[in-house]
Each structure stands twice: as C-alpha cells, then as structure tokens.
A = this chain, B = another copy of it.
Amino acid sequence: MFRNQMPRYEILSPDAVNALDGGWRRIVTEIGVQFAKPEAVELFRKAGQQIVDDDVVRLDPDFVLEQVAKAPAEFDVQARNPANNVHIGGDQMVFSGVYGSPFVREGDVRRDAMMSDFRRLCMLAQSFPQLDSAGGVICEPNDAPLDSRHLDMIYALQTLTDKFYMGNVVSGPNAADTITMSEILFGGRAAIERTPASISLINCNSPLRWDDRMLDAQFEYCAANQPVVLTPFLLMGAMSPVTIPAALVQQLAEALSGIALAQLIRPGCPVIFGSFLSNIDMQSGSPSFGTPESAMGLLCTGQLARHYGLPFRTGGGLNASQTCDAQAAYESLMTLLPTFLAGTNFVMHAAGWLEGGLVSCYEKFIVDIELLRMLRVEFTPLEIDPDSLAFGAHLEVGHGGHFLGAEHTMERFRNCFYRPLLSSTANYERWLKLGGKDATARASEIVAKTLDEYEPPPLDDAIRAELDEFVTRRRAELGD
C-alpha cells in the first residue's frame, strides 16, 4: 500500500466532465444496459426501472446515482497477516500482480502456464512489498484439472502468500468456493463480512452487456460483502467507439450500472469503479497497450471516479511487446506513470504483464517491481526545511568544489537517493567484467535469487488441515 500525497494530474475541464456526465446518462436512458441474469433484471424491475427485450434495463440516471451513493467511498480489506491489510480509496494505492495469462515467459522460452508457475509467481509476489496481493489468476494453470483448478489457485494464494487475494469469477459456484475458503482462513462468515478478505474482478462484456457467469459471481460476492471491481473491458475500435470521450461515457454507463446492481444486491456493499481501457491497432486488429490514448483515458478515469465519489481501478504495467525489451519497458511505464498521476486506488497487472496480457513473464515481473519502487519515491512529497536547503553544506564546500565528503552528505549518503533493485550504473568496463548483462538478464538472476530465498509465511496447522480437507472434498464433488 502506498499513500500518494502528490497532486492529481487532471486534464478534464468542468465543462468536459459535464459533457461526459450527460453522455452516460443518455446511453443508460435511451439504449439501456443488458443484464443476462433474470435475478438482476428482477432487482431493477422491482426498483422501478424499465425493462425492454427481456433483459435490457433502461435506467434512470438519477436512480443509478442514488444507488452509487450507497457504496462506501473507502473500505478495508484484510489479509491473513494484519501487516498486509489494505485500505481501498482516498489517497491510498494498492497493487496486485498480472492476471489471466494463459502463457508464461521465462528467459527465451514462452510456453503454456502451469500450476508450478502459478506457485512460483505467488512466491515472487510474496517476496516484494511493492505488491499488496499476488492477484488472482496470476497465470492460467493449464496442467491443473479445469473444474477444480480454482481451488488450487485460491489455496496457493492463501498459503504461499499472507496478502489479500482476488476471488475466482468463472462461475457462481467458484465464487462460493472462494468465499468458503476465506471463511476457513479468517474464522467464519461474520469475520469476512465485517472486513472483506478478497477483491474480485467482474468484467463487462462490453459494449453494454453484463454476462450471466460474471453476474452469478457478482451476486455471490456482493451478498457476502466481498468487494467487486466492476470493469468495462474496452479496447477502443472493438468494444467501444474509436474516440476517447465515447469510450469514457460508455465506461461510465457500464461501471455505474454494475455498481447500481451491487447496491441492489446488498446496499452498502463495497465496490470499485473499474477501468480497462486501451485500443486496437487498426492495421492488425491486435490490442495495443501503453498507448497515448490509454494514458489519456486513464487520467480521465481517475478524475471521473472521484467525481462520482468512488474508489477506482485502472492502469498497471501494460504493454503489447513479445519480449521483455525496450518496448515492454516504455509501454509499461507509459501506463504506470499515469497510474500514479491519477492516484489510482487499485492497480491490477502491476507486475509481470507481457504480450498484451497473454503472457506472465518472470523477468518483466522484476522490471515492474523496479518501476513501482521508483514511482513510490517519485510520488513522495519533498520536505523543504532549513536542513534540506543545506546552506551549511554550501558554506563548507564553496566554489567549484565537491560535496562527496561534506558533513551534510556523510550524514545522509545511505538513504538520500533511490537505490535500484535492477538498474545498473556500473561503468562500461565494470559492466563488461560483470558479464555484460542487459536488464532482462539481470532480472532473470533476481528471479532465481528471490525464489531461492523465499520462505513461506507461517500458517496455523488446523487451518491448513481444514483448507486441505475442503479442497479434497470439493475436488471429488467436481469430479476431478
């Protein structure tokens, strides 16, 4: 968790905010939002909203905002190590790892992700305090049985890390399993309803459609007071129009309608305004990340979420590069730096994302940790006082001298500057002597060392046994 006390970089004028506000209101009123779950439609019908074509809800925007106002502006999420509890909202920033990749890349090898990768990425996430959570589906463990792999993933997140985790959203029953496993870990339903123990990602099937399986999961999580991130999934040109303002109003229509549903399921349940906003390459049709358009969308998203009083998710180390190269680095920072400028409350994909999210990359994980470490320093306000003005040091050194041995320097040299994890300032001859390794090769060494030094966080034997028993029983029930 990082408290971002620097100013927010806001690029929308009040008139622009008004125009965008008018845009989503018109969409929900005249076009409506599709909810592919009868229980959701029924909740809206009961609340007086107009239903057309069975499952399209035409919403009164003022009704939507009444519901949105019931969502807490800030809330806590507990981790099994209380030192890793987080607070979502305000000027806090919370970070989790890459999510959803079917492949991994390690060194020069790109291959199907496996459960062993999932575990090793959990161990990496546990090892770096810049991540508040390993995430959820850090990679898709293709060698684990399909129907029960959510149990393996949640179990790994619960036991290999002592940070909060993201719940499974593949189906309602998977969500229910996640909740049950949280109950085991945290001592019962009341304990996790009081302070949520997971955050789960509910994606919209953009444009303007919430799908049944995601809604099933949302119903489970909201009923248990576990926060959900209602996230329009917008690659401009495919799932939204090609203009940023159009994408922003669509994002508002989708996210706010999903949040309204959450409040109908359980008034006051915690939610996060989600954003996943980039564009496709109109020549290849492939998704682009780290683009100027996504950075602008990100900055606007933060400003709009604040306008509606909601904690928000956006950003991360997004890029489209196939390897952990210069492109991977600059596209990621082109997203991560605006993520900090916007004061983003919850940042998914903060470490390890490569190749448009198809790949969880070990080396890229380390590059991203370095970026997060740098940005935390960069977004910490300066202290300006007589001591930091250092007039005495100037008196001591005078004209044309150097400050290397000055008293002011000697008192501060250990902690005065950012100390890199990955970056090298070695001169060329020394760098050659050290093997002439580029940043990615050095990252690979840091991965190996980190995994080698990893120690599992302690876990009560009785709780572990209960989790084991649950996983075994449910796996059998699921036929795996």
Question: Which residues of chain A from 350 to 382 have any CB-CB distance to chain B below 8 Å in the complex?
Answer: 355-356, 358, 367, 370-371, 374-375, 377-378, 381-382
Closest beta carbon of chain B to A429's beta carbon, Å: 10
Q: Assuming the A-B contacts A320-B425, A326-B328, are A245 and B384 also in contact, with contact meaning beta carbons closer than 8 angstroms in the complex?
A: yes
Q: Is B424's CB under 8 angstroms from A208's CB?
A: no
Q: Which residue of B lies closest to A402 (CB)?
A: B238
Q: Is B403's CB under 8 angstroms from A239's CB?
A: yes
Roughly how many angstroms separate A110 CA and B240 CA in the complex, as a whole number?
Answer: 47
Q: In the complex, what residues of B have CB within 8 A of residue A328's CB?
A: 326, 329
Q: Is B16's CB under 8 angstroms from A6's CB?
A: no
Roughly how many angstroms separate A423 CA and B291 CA in the complex, as a whole number?
Answer: 10
Q: In the complex, what residues of B have CB within 8 A of residue A236's CB?
A: 403, 416-417
Q: Which residue of B lies closest to A287 (CB)?
A: B425
Does A237 touch B at the CB level, under 8 Å? Answer: yes
Does A394 touch B at the CB level, under 8 Å? Answer: yes
Q: In the complex, what residues of B have CB within 8 A of residue A323's CB?
A: 438
Q: Assuming the A-B contacts A293-B417, A384-B20, are A246 and B389 also in contact, with contact meaning beta carbons closer than 8 angstroms in the complex?
A: yes
Does A333 touch B at the CB level, under 8 Å? Answer: yes
Closest beta carbon of chain B to A126's beta carbon, Å: 24
Q: Is A321's CB under 8 angstroms from B394's CB?
A: no
Roughly how many angstroms separate A142 CA and B322 CA in the complex, as a whole number?
Answer: 38
Closest beta carbon of chain B to A17's beta carbon, Å: 9
Interface centre among A291, A400, A404, A412 (most CB of B within 10 A): A400
Q: In the complex, what residues of B have CB within 8 A of residue A341's CB?
A: 9, 341
Q: Is B408's CB under 8 angstroms from A242's CB?
A: yes
Question: Which residues of chain A from 322 to 355 have any CB-CB distance to chain B below 8 Å in the complex?
Answer: 322-334, 337, 341, 355
Roughly how many angstroms separate A245 CA and B406 CA in the complex, as a whole number?
Answer: 16
Does A395 touch B at the CB level, under 8 Å? Answer: yes
Does A200 touch B at the CB level, under 8 Å? Answer: no
Q: Among the listed stretches A27-35, A68-76, A115-123, A155-163, which one makes contact with chain B, having 4 or more residues with CB under 8 Å of it?
A: A27-35
Q: Which residue of B lies closest to A417 (CB)?
A: B279
Q: Is A320's CB under 8 angstroms from B412's CB?
A: no
Does A51 touch B at the CB level, under 8 Å? Answer: no
Q: In the complex, what residues of B have CB within 8 A of residue A300's CB?
A: 382
Q: In the complex, what residues of B have CB within 8 A of residue A27's CB?
A: 391, 394
- Other-chain residue from B6, B337, B382, B400 in contact with A207 (beta carbon distance below 8 A): B400
Closest beta carbon of chain B to A237's beta carbon, Å: 6
- Other-chain residue from B281, B428, B440 in contact with A425 (beta carbon distance below 8 A): B281
Closest beta carbon of chain B to A18's beta carbon, Å: 10
Q: In the complex, what residues of B have CB within 8 A of residue A293's CB?
A: 377, 417-418
Q: Assuming the A-B contacts A403-B238, A414-B282, are A7 and B16 also in contact, with contact meaning beta carbons closer than 8 angstroms in the complex?
A: no
Closest beta carbon of chain B to A77's beta carbon, Å: 28
- Other-chain residue from B19, B56, B399 in contact with A399 (beta carbon distance below 8 A): B56
- Other-chain residue from B6, B356, B367, B431 in contact with A11 (beta carbon distance below 8 A): B6
Does A154 touch B at the CB level, under 8 Å? Answer: no
Q: In the complex, what residues of B have CB within 8 A of residue A424's CB?
A: 320-322, 327
15 further contact pairs, Cβ within 8 A, besides A242-B412, A245-B383, A245-B389: A27-B391, A110-B428, A237-B403, A237-B417, A241-B403, A244-B382, A250-B394, A296-B382, A321-B439, A326-B443, A327-B329, A327-B438, A327-B439, A333-B337, A356-B425
Q: Which 4 A-B pairs have the closest CB atoms?
A: A246-B390, A292-B378, A326-B329, A209-B400
Binding site for B on A (CB under 8 A): 6-7, 9-12, 16, 19-20, 23, 26-27, 30-34, 56, 110, 205, 207-209, 236-246, 249-250, 279-288, 290-293, 295-296, 300, 320-334, 337, 341, 355-356, 358, 367, 370-371, 374-375, 377-378, 381-385, 387-391, 393-395, 397-404, 406, 408-409, 412-414, 416-420, 422-428, 431, 436, 438-440, 443
